[in-house]
Amino acid sequence: MTTVTFDRYEGPATADHLDGFLAAYEEIYADPPYREGPWDVAEFIDHYQVHVRRPSMRLVVARDGEEVVGFAYGYFLAPETRWWHNLQDVTLPEAFMRENGHRSFAIIELAVRRAWRRRGIAAGLHTRLLNGVDAERVTLTVRPEPEANPARSAYLAWGYHKIGTSHPWEGAPLYDCMVREARTPQLQQ
C-alpha cells in the first residue's frame, strides 16, 4: 500500500496541472448530486483557465503513487467579487461583503475520488490548501442535496457555518454558502 502524498502549486504554476487532475474531476462529478457530463467538464475547464490567472491561486493535488485521488483549489476574493452578492436568502451588511484581495479566501473545489474517501484525504487537502493563508475568513459552497451530506458534515466539523444560499450564475444549481473565521482581525488602536 502506498502513502498518499500532497503537492501544492501556487500562482501561474497552477495552470500546468489541470491535465493531471481532470480525469479525477470527471469521475467525481459524474456522481450524484452533480451528474456532470461533457458540457459541464468543458465549462469547468473554461472556469479553471480564468481562475489560474488570479495571483493568489493555490492548487493541492493528492496522489496515491502516481494516481490522482483528490484535489482542492482556491484563491482570495478580489475587491470586485460577486461572491456575497450571489446569496439569495440573506442580506449581508456592506461591511461584511467588502473585500480587499486579502480578506477572504474562497475554496472553489475540494474533491476526493470515491475509493479514497473517509481516509482523511479531504482534511489533508483542506489543511494544505490553507496552510500559510493569512485571511480573516475562509468561504466555500456545497450542494444542499443529501448526497452532499458527508462533505457538509466535514465542513461543519472544520468550523464552517452556513450563511446563505448562493446562486452563482445563470443556470447554476443552488449552493449553501459557508464561512469559517480564519483569524481574528487586528483591532485598531
**Could you tell me the CATH number of the domain that includes residue 148?**
3.40.630.30
- Amino acid 129 reads L
pLDDT grade, residue 183 (50/70/90)?
low
User: Is the predicted pLDDT of residue 188 greater than 50, yes or no?
Assistant: no
pLDDT of residue 144: 92
pLDDT of residue 189: 33
Residue 81 domain-assigned? yes
Q: For residues 188 and 42, which has the higher predicted lDDT (pLDDT)? A: 42
User: Is the predicted pLDDT of residue 186 greater than 50, yes or no?
Assistant: no
pLDDT of residue 169: 85
Return mean pLDDT, the chain: 93
pLDDT grade, residue 170 (50/70/90)?
confident
Q: For residues 55 and 188, which has the higher predicted lDDT (pLDDT)? A: 55
Q: Which domain holds residue 143?
A: 4-181
Please give the tally of structural domains in the chain: 1
Query: In angstroms, how far is CA 145 from the centroid of its own chain?
Result: 17
Residue 84 domain-assigned? yes
Q: For residues 103 and 1, which has the higher predicted lDDT (pLDDT)? A: 103
pLDDT of residue 163: 97
Can you tell me the distance from the alpha carbon of 105 to that of 140, in angstroms, rounded to the nearest whole number? 9
The mean per-residue pLDDT over the stretch 30-35 comes to 91
User: What pTM, to 2 d.p., does this model score?
Assistant: 0.93
User: Is the predicted pLDDT of residue 29 greater than 70, yes or no?
Assistant: yes
Residue 188 domain-assigned? no
Residue 34 domain-assigned? yes
User: Is the predicted pLDDT of residue 1 greater than 90, yes or no?
Assistant: no
Are 164 and 154 in contact by the 8 Å Cβ rule? The answer is: no
Q: What whole-number percentage of the chain has pLDDT above 90?
A: 87
Measured between alpha carbons, how far is residue 115 from residues 8, 56, 124 in Å?
22, 31, 16
pLDDT of residue 185: 46
Residue 136 domain-assigned? yes
Extended strands (E) in the chain: 4-10, 58-64, 67-76, 104-112, 137-142, 161-166, 175-181
